[in-house]
Structure 1
Amino acid sequence: MRSVPRVAVVLALVAVALLLSAGPAAAHVTTVAYADLTAAGPTDVRVEFDLQYELLSASAAKAQGDPALFADAIGHPGQGAEDQVLADHAAAIIAYTTARFHVAVDGGSECLPHADGPAAFHSRDATDYARFAVHYACDAGHGGGFVVRSALFPDSEGMVTDTKTIVTYALGGRSGSAALDAADPQFSTAQPWTERFAEFFLLGAEHLLTGIDHILFLLALIISSRRLRDVVFAATCFTVAHSITFLLAALGFVHIGANVVEPAIALSIAAVAGWHLWEERLRRAARRRGEPAPPPSRQAALLRLGIVFGFGLIHGLGFATALKIEEPWSWTLLWSLLVFNLGIEAVQLSVILVVFPPLLLLRRRMPRTATALGVVVTAVVLLFGLLWFAMRALGLPGTP
């Protein structure tokens, strides 16, 4: 058995170090909050919140000094008693929310909040949520422009990281949506639509960049491609497939829980990596017999594209569940989601342009090193895919 070239070993160790440094918490650690703003009379605003039930309960209990809320909702929860828990601790929940979510007249004073009806417990994409409304009383003469600021579930609370607040609004003849987080905590309903879409574009780009599992899938796809045409066709199939399921989920036609989608994504990573290792095994066996490596057949190429397309459908559901999409919203929001998808595609194309040309050059000038490097890195990807599949299937904590 020939030894692996030293350069390949060094490069592979660097790749492993990068993967390990990313850590399990590098992806899928965000929570998503929802706020739907509508007009309440000629000057006021009604905000319907939809927040994760346990997270809201734990955060409000800690911030408002209400340990009974934590005990009732999380410590010793009663099946079917969630609505009563929300009613009993409504003051703490409203106080927590309104201290972190503000509505103000654009260029004027802040609107004064007060509760608007009881809260309701429900399930949203296999996650428990609490839906309740707050009435914000605003000054007259503002012309329909409002500034919205969200600091819900900040990193400093230690509960979750990088909260995304998806805001939709229909106020003063203006409608649209925005994605707020710690980096961009506020927006004005009077801002241009291009700025709102830019926020969703960056949100999509960030999701792929911080999603180490999606990056590994793409890396395995690139390494397993022998020609530029192969990686372009595969990336196109992947793009078309995940765009289909992403939009179907946004329109409410598809609903599959994260407990199914996330293990399937991890399994897809392992499958693509395993495919490459199997092909390399066949090439190596041919070289041992003194035969040229078998060229990829048309049937094998079509089968590979079919597999990539199928896994793309799964990844599209993963992108959708990252925003907990489960219902048809306004057309404006759907356009925002398309822009979110464009952000994903921009990063995907950038990764291909950065990784594939150097890999192609290495294969031409140092074929043994390129082969060994591809095998080692792909084996690491396979290991991570199988490990994450097992962790996600079992629901173990700390899983990316």
Structure 2
Amino acid sequence: MVMPGIDAALAHAVAEGDKGYIKEITGVNLLPFVYLGAKHMVTGYDHILFLFGVIFFLYRLKHIALYVSLFAIGHSTTMLLGVYFNVGINSYLIDAIIGLSVVYKALDNMGAYQRWLGFQPNTKAATLIFGLFHGFGLSTKILEYQISPDGLIPNLLAFNVGVELGQLTALGMILIVMGYWRRTASFWRHAYTANVWMLTAGFVLVGYQLTGYFVS
């Protein structure tokens, strides 16, 4: 048995205040669910790291829009279906897979697959597939809310709108920072190092979540 403090520290879980509020309300509550969706995405460091990796070497807005849309389609699909059909995955395991998505993208940006495999895996397909896993991470968090079935569909759609708004907010901040950085001479000198740090962060996330799974 794990001490509550340790379990809370290791889990990428729903804030207790938010969880208590959602348990108490019934019916259609669009704005609270929009807020919760946006909050989860903006504060979801694993989602933001993956998004950062996806757009790291993308310059044209149409390419950014394509990849971000594929990611959004993936996580929206599994989030909605996962909650509707009550399909939950152990939060530690799904968050470990999300950590692996960060590792995958960092290695992709470093050109590892071309060196190791002799070809480049389909980056669009990878973004969509990992988006599906990120969506299961979101659905698992929503199921932790134990929300009322009364008004479930509108509330769920509102949560998804919040997630997309949070994603756009995070994307906007990333693009602003990347826009300034790319104009400097240090970008290409430090791009590889930045992805090594992202790779390290991904492995730390995986280890963090697997530790939580085995000690919980």
- Write the distance in 2 (CA, Å) between the matches of 1:374 and 1:330: 47
- Write the distance in 1 (CA, Å) between the matches of 2:159 and 2:65: 21
- Write the distance in 1 (CA, Å) between the matches of 2:75 and 2:14: 21
- Write the distance in 1 (CA, Å) between the matches of 2:191 and 2:10: 24
1:164 corresponds to 2:19: yes
1:240: Cα distance to partner?
0.5
Aligned positions, number: 204
Q: Which residue of 1 aligns with 2:74?
A: 241
1:309 corresponds to 2:142: no
Task: Show CA shifts across 1:321-360 (max 9, x none).
Answer: 1122699963622211111111111121122222225524
Q: Which residue of 1 aligns with 2:14?
A: 30
> Residue 372 and residue 397 in structure 1: after superposition, are their counterparts in 2 closer, same or farther (change >3 A)?
farther
- Write the distance in 1 (CA, Å) between the matches of 2:166 and 2:146: 27
Q: Larger relative contact order (C-alpha < 8 A, sep ≥ 6)?
A: 2
- The equivalent position to 1:345 in structure 2, one of 148, 154, 164, is 164
Q: Which residue of 1 aligns with 2:103?
A: 270
CA contact (8 A) 1:176 1:332 kept: yes
1:303: Cα distance to partner?
1.0
Root-mean-square deviation (CA), in Å? 3.3
1:163: Cα distance to partner?
4.7
- Write the distance in 2 (CA, Å) between the matches of 1:373 and 1:347: 28
1:215 corresponds to 2:71: no
- The equivalent position to 1:335 in structure 2, one of 154, 169, 177, is 154
- Write the distance in 2 (CA, Å) between the matches of 1:325 and 1:338: 17
Task: Show CA shifts across 1:61-101 (max 9, x none).
Answer: xxxxxxxxxxxxxxxxxxxxxxxxxxxxxxxxxxxxxxxxx
Task: Show CA shifts across 1:282-321 (max 9, x none).
Answer: 8xxxxxxxxxxxxxxxx95x81010010110000111111
- Write the distance in 1 (CA, Å) between the matches of 2:107 and 2:128: 17
- The equivalent position to 2:193 in structure 1, one of 376, 388, 392, is 376
Equivalent residue runs for 1:126-145 within 5 Å: none
Equivalent residue runs for 1:162-311 within 5 Å: 162-165=17-20, 166-167=22-23, 176-177=27-28, 196-252=29-85, 254-278=87-111, 303-311=122-130
- Write the distance in 1 (CA, Å) between the matches of 2:190 and 2:57: 12
Q: Which residue of 2 aligns with 1:136?
A: none
1:244: Cα distance to partner?
0.4
Structure with higher Rg: it is 1
1:277: Cα distance to partner?
1.3
1:247: Cα distance to partner?
0.7
Q: Which residue of 2 aligns with 1:388?
A: 205
- Write the distance in 1 (CA, Å) between the matches of 2:86 and 2:9: 31
Secondary structure in structure 1 of the residue aligned to 2:27: strand
Which residue type is aligned with residue 106 of structure 2? A
Secondary structure in structure 2 of the residue aligned to 1:324: helix
Secondary structure in structure 1 of the residue aligned to 2:174: helix
1:386: Cα distance to partner?
0.7
- Write the distance in 1 (CA, Å) between the matches of 2:19 and 2:186: 43
- Write the distance in 1 (CA, Å) between the matches of 2:214 and 2:93: 16
> Residue 388 and residue 239 in structure 1: after superposition, are their counterparts in 2 closer, same or farther (change >3 A)?
same
- Write the distance in 1 (CA, Å) between the matches of 2:146 and 2:176: 41
1:324 corresponds to 2:143: yes
Where does the alignment leave 5 or more consecutive residues of structure 2 unmatched? 1-7
Which residue type is aligned with residue 372 of structure 1? R
Q: Which residue of 1 aligns with 2:5?
A: none
CA contact (8 A) 1:29 1:162 kept: no
Where does the alignment leave 5 or more consecutive residues of structure 1 unmatched? 1-23, 32-160, 170-174, 178-195, 283-298
CA contact (8 A) 1:26 1:210 kept: no
TM-score between both structures, scaled by the size of structure 2? 0.79
- Write the distance in 2 (CA, Å) between the matches of 1:328 and 1:211: 21
TM-score between both structures, scaled by the size of structure 1? 0.45
- Write the distance in 2 (CA, Å) between the matches of 1:202 and 1:384: 27
1:275: Cα distance to partner?
0.7
Task: Show CA shifts across 1:188-226 (max 9, x none).
Answer: xxxxxxxx3111111111112222111211112221324
Q: Which structure's residues are more often strand, by fraction?
A: 1
Q: Which structure's residues are more often helix, by fraction?
A: 2
